[in-house]
Structure 1
Amino acid sequence: MLHDCEHLREESQAMEYLQDLIVYIRFSTPLWSTLISGAFVLISLSLSFYLLFEHLSAYKNPEEQKFLIGVILMVPFYAVESFVSLLDPSISVDIEILRDCYESFAMYCFGRYLVACLGGEERTIEFLKREGRSSSKAPLLEHSHERGTIKHPFPMNYVLKPWRLGQWFYQVVKFGIVQYMLIKSLTAVLAVILEAFGVYCEGDFKLRCG
């Protein structure tokens, strides 16, 4: 009887080992894809750090360059995150929170960079006010801009009135960027929590999954 129990235990352990081996073989990353992705990661890192070095060596316009550097760093950040996820898909959800948080930060940097290129917030608002006047002949956007207004796409054009360029429009865009940062970071943290409880189903729309 004792011998039979030990035999069943050995068979159970062998089956578990075989299942783990099958899962590893099924989800293991091929060598060729690892080498190709690693080569592209090295290229992206080299070009990104070269561009960063060029900006830092000629750091003469900090109001613009400090935000531009934040945008440039998104390339190596995404490259390393994607490569690590390829090597170990089991931790991809955990490191996606870092990617999503930096994506929201890069969006903020890009918005601030555009404002800095226009000369700051006051000059940006003045520029939008000039574009918002009906006497403006050169449209800011060809298809969605007419006489200083921004038309909403379908079906929001039946709900919201066209936005006139000016200070209010600038505040709406600024609020939208900050809102995107908060929601993106919150959903990234929520995804990690759901993954820890085993109820995060990426790409699946189920009532019991997040």
Structure 2
Amino acid sequence: MLNSTCNSTLEDLRISRGDEVLLVGPLDFHDLARVIAASCTLIAVAMSLYLAWMHALHYTQPREQRYIIRILFMVPVYAVSSYLQLQWYWHAIYFQVISDCYEAFAIASFFALLCHYVAPDLHAQKAYFREMRPIKAWVWPVNWFAACCGRHRGPWRTPASGLTWFNIIWIGIYHYCFIRVAMTISAVVSQYFGRYCESSNSPVFGHIWEETPADRVKETR
């Protein structure tokens, strides 16, 4: 029988004044961490917004710069999210999944930027990749799937055409944006109703279902 009880000890934990040893003057560990985090957040946000503002003022290459600006906004999003997770740690999951949601758009912007460096439009990009040779095999774990599922005739085989390879990558990256947004909404809703349970991988909770493979990779680092 599956365990339907969530261990929410960490989520219910609150740090009260006097619970921690003072480290620097009147500051305990949590207060000191907030001061350092706030300072780093302000620096990161200021520098990122300054770079984005300078790109906006010198908007001479709009096809590339619009993606650069979107990538730059990942820094303030993650910085502010990290500080909010430290300040209101019992609601950290909300800030975490929202910042992870923007990650998908930053990845898509980076991919689009690289494509624009190759060719100015989608038609020219496809023409470029159509002539691409040789085509490298897929990285792990897809190459393992190919080895056990038909090899050169299975669904995980290395594409014979560079255009097919590009189309697969293109669809996968932009499909991830949709999946990431859907999983973020699901995580926020399930957390609100107490059915997310980040500390559990039980299938009765939403955590294991609303994680993407990218989240699993980050957890194992």
TM-score normalised to structure 2 length: 0.71
Rounded to whole Å, the distance in 1 between the matches of 2:160 and 2:72 is 32
Task: Determine whether 1:23 maps to 2:19.
Answer: no
Among 172, 175, 180, the alignment partner of 1:184 is 180
Number of the residue aligned with 1:156: 145
Equivalent residue runs for 1:188-207 within 5 Å: 188-207=184-203
Secondary structure at the counterpart of residue 155 of structure 1: helix
Equivalent residue runs for 1:41-80 within 5 Å: 41-80=41-80
Larger radius of gyration: 1
Please report how far the alpha carbon of residue 70 of structure 1 lies from its aligned counterpart in structure 2 after TM superposition. Answer: 0.4
Residue-pair matches, total: 175
Rounded to whole Å, the distance in 1 between the matches of 2:139 and 2:31 is 48
The residue type equivalent to 1:181 in the other structure is C
Structure 1 portions without partners, runs of 5+ = 1-21, 133-146
The CA deviation string for residues 130-166 of structure 1, in whole angstroms up to 9 with x for no partner, is: 323xxxxxxxxxxxxxx33434434123132112352
RMSD over aligned Cα atoms: 2.3
Secondary structure at the counterpart of residue 131 of structure 2: helix
Per chain length, whose mean CA-contact separation is higher, i.e. which structure has more relative contact order (CA < 8 Å, sep 6+)?
2
Rounded to whole Å, the distance in 1 between the matches of 2:71 and 2:171 is 19
Rounded to whole Å, the distance in 2 between the matches of 1:59 and 1:183 is 32
> Which shifted more, 82-91 or 163-172?
163-172
The CA deviation string for residues 96-140 of structure 1, in whole angstroms up to 9 with x for no partner, is: 3432332222122112111211222222222222323xxxxxxxx
Rounded to whole Å, the distance in 1 between the matches of 2:126 and 2:115 is 9
TM-score normalised to structure 1 length: 0.74
Rounded to whole Å, the distance in 1 between the matches of 2:199 and 2:63 is 40
Equivalent residue runs for 1:37-186 within 5 Å: 37-119=37-119, 120-132=121-133, 147-153=134-140, 154-158=143-147, 159=149, 160-186=156-182
The residue type equivalent to 1:123 in the other structure is A
Rounded to whole Å, the distance in 1 between the matches of 2:14 and 2:138 is 52
Rounded to whole Å, the distance in 2 between the matches of 1:203 and 1:46 is 34
Rounded to whole Å, the distance in 2 between the matches of 1:165 and 1:78 is 38
Asked if 2 retains the 8 angstrom alpha-carbon contact of 1:44 and 1:75, the reply is yes
> Which shifted more, 162-171 or 107-116?
162-171
